[in-house]
Amino acid sequence: MKVSTAILAALAAAWTGSAVAADTPAHGAGAKYETSGDVLKGAPMQQPGAQPGPALTAAEFDKAKQIYFERCAGCHGVLRKGATGKPLTTDITRERGFDALKAFITYGSAAGMPNWGTSGQLTEAEVDLMAKYLLNEPPQPPEFGMEEVRSTWKMVIPPEKRPTKKMNKLDIDNLFSVTLRDSGEIALIDGASKKIVSIIKTGYAVHISRTSASGRYLFVIGRDAKINLIDLWMEKPDTVAEIKIGMEARSVETSKYKGFEDKYAIAGAYWPPQFVIMNGNTLEPIKIVSTRGMTSDKQEYHPEPRVASILGSHFKPEFVVNVKETGQILMVDYSDIKNLRVTTVEAERFLHDGGFDASKRYFLVAANARNKIAVVDTKESKLVKLVDVGNTPHPGRGANFVHPKFGPVWATGHLGDETIALIGTDPKGHPKQAWTKVADLTGQGGGSLFLKTHPKSKNLWVDTTLNPDLDVASSIAVFDIGNLGKPAEVLPIAKWAGITDGAARTVQPEYNKAGDEVWFSVWNAKDKVSAIVVVDDKTRKLKSVIKDARLITPTGKFNLHNTQHDVY
């Protein structure tokens, strides 16, 4: 039976749906949704047997599975247990029914669910198929144990054949590692000349670049869970080892504590839910640890707790591992890998990203679907406090500066509102303000992914990359730290890049080593012109535009010195 458009729209409005899609959100009501490139779409999975849901042929199941992993799994989870988005398990979907599911997929919701049907991204037949698919039990993706991990490990150049001294004239401290999202590469760009030094093949959509403790090596990890170990001492920096630690991932880090510099690396997977500890010089896998377990709130078992961000402690030989769905922060002691000790810190569910305060003792991480920031003391390995902030915080690493009234603070922007929350971080000098939200700044709107300042700067830069208004999304807001009561100045970064074709968005401010320049990615479609825009931090004037045909969908940028020393 055909259901009228008016009824479908009413059903969609009645079902408020999921939280905003933090990994790859919709780009406005009429825009097409960009695929995440999730590699799980091609994973071998058996169709569940006979069940109460609508029957699907093998071909229909395969097509629906691919659509789900391309479009939905990043928010609703591989097993549909929910994450940033709501659960879509069959007890829920069958209660809602086919018509409500179809309406929700077609029209989306104000809470952030993309309008797959009305945007034209899915045909009416595909919407029908996905509604039927959600009434059936989800398939189980394959596991990825030590045998599978080791089979992907490649030693390109063993340590004994690598240079014994730096063989190039590059100022490694002022190199930028720039993610070329859709080409599966990174670009190394010299901070002084603004020239591309090297283009290196990597995994798909590198999520983060991390510099080793010594500064010699660069670790990058793609969303397909592929890690590249890049030797920056080579005449031309390039990959010396690589490995895949799962099927989908977001995080990689190296050991930083004194006596363990460059000894270990760790990476966390979205699927399977686990982290892998490796040799820091070779990427040889040493130990795999599952993160499946109980949630921090209801103490319920969760089969798919994905590893979000990971940082290396400066106070202990520990990795700080944030487990998204359970809300557990794992303090992983790497001083004895064979007899691994893990301290579990109960924080809040749906942990995402975060960074250190200025002292590097306290780690602040967003529990984004719960609108909180968890504060962890890495010296004592314990939770300090949960701080209420705005709607869906997304700090990246956050930003540290000294507030004229409240002293040292750490800042986060939000996906779901226009505020920038400031949290006091000085328990000794400003005990009344410590670990409380002391103030909110008003930015351009929701859709903020990253904000940044520098110890030598008087500015706080805040992007709004995912705002549905393209004029907002393509610009940057900059606040005067000395006069935070003054409204932000808005700079038209994408216009400064001279890009008029496409829907270019400004993302991720990043300082150079000296702290006197801020670099921005102007992120356009892969078949359009993108750019890097460099702004003088003191004058806020355009300083340089980097355009090159090889700069395909540039997103994250990581200055190697600032990344090595956790400067933000």
* Three-state DSSP string of 186-252: EEEEECCCCCEEEEEECCCCCCEEEECCCCCEEEEECCCCEEEEEECCCCCCEEEEEEECCCEEEEE
Q: C-alpha distances in angstroms, 167 versus 118, 194, 212, 214, 409? A: 56, 21, 18, 16, 41
Strand order in the sheet with 248-254: 248-254, 264-271, 274-279, 285-290
Residue 349 to residue 335: CA distance in whole angstroms: 28
pLDDT at 111: 57
Bridge partners, residue 175, by sequence: 190
Per-residue model confidence as pLDDT tens for the chain (568 residues): 444 555 545 445 444 443 333 343 333 333 333 434 455 656 667 677 656 778 899 999 999 988 887 778 877 888 888 766 788 999 999 999 999 999 999 988 755 677 888 878 799 999 999 999 999 998 888 899 999 999 999 999 999 999 999 999 999 999 999 999 989 999 999 999 999 999 999 998 899 999 999 999 999 999 889 999 999 999 999 999 999 999 889 999 999 999 999 999 999 999 999 999 999 999 999 999 999 999 999 999 998 899 999 999 999 999 999 999 999 999 999 999 999 999 999 999 999 999 999 999 999 999 998 999 999 999 999 999 999 999 999 999 999 999 999 999 999 999 999 999 999 999 999 999 999 999 999 999 999 999 999 999 999 999 999 898 999 999 999 999 999 999 999 999 999 999 989 999 999 999 999 999 999 999 998 899 999 999 999 999 999 999 999 999 999 999 999 999 999 9
Show the tokens assigned to 553.
Answer: 């969908």
The answer to whether residues 514 and 162 touch, using CB atoms and an 8 Å cutoff, is no
What ranges in 15-97 are assigned the alpha helix state H? 58-71, 73-76, 90-96
The answer to whether residues 196 and 176 touch, using CB atoms and an 8 Å cutoff, is no
pLDDT at 496: 98
C-beta neighbour count of 483 within 10 angstroms = 9
pLDDT at 84: 65
DSSP state of 101: H
The residues annotated as belonging to the active site are: 72, 75-76, 113, 352, 394
Residue 96 to residue 353: CA distance in whole angstroms: 33
pLDDT at 201: 97
The answer to whether residues 266 and 332 touch, using CB atoms and an 8 Å cutoff, is yes
DSSP state of 40: G
pLDDT at 18: 36
pLDDT at 48: 73
pLDDT at 110: 55
